[in-house]
Amino acid sequence: MLSCAVCGILFANGAAFFAKTVAGPAIVVDQYYNAVKGQHYDTAFSYMEPGTTTFRGQPINLQAYTVFAQGLDFGKGKVTGFSVGNISGTDKITSVTVTVNRTNSAAYNVNLQLQQVNGSWKIISFDNI
């Protein structure tokens, strides 16, 4: 009986950890890429933490983000699909790898880092769109 109670507690804690470190970031990344796919760059940028998000190590704002995203859409084609791959991290920072498909280029991987800010997951770093 005691072992069942311990298993239940461990399962509940594991499920909570999973929800904090995997499910939350996965949902945000899905919403972010749906906005990118629809070319709604202001919505996509809203999933980032203003003033702290970096692109390839450099701070980025909405205007710079939009110019870069539009340039990728022009050069590589619109995003036609994406799949969330590896998700790893802690309850503070989670790394997510996304495979992105565009109309005029081969699929490529994007690495994002997310952090909980005031109870919501926000993208704080990315190396591509």
pTM of the model: 0.82
* Residue whose C-alpha is closest to residue 22's, from 85, 87, 83, 84: 87
pLDDT band at residue 67 using 50, 70 and 90 as cut-offs: very high
Each residue's pLDDT tens digit, 22-59: 799 999 999 999 999 999 999 999 999 988 999 999 99
**pLDDT of amino acid 16:** 45
Cβ proximity of 59 and 45 under 8 Å? no
Show me where the domains of the chain are located. Answer: 2-126
Neighbour-count burial for 36-53, b at 16+ CB within 10 Å, e otherwise? bbeeebeebbebbbeeeb
Give the CATH architecture of domain 2-126.
Answer: Roll (3.10)
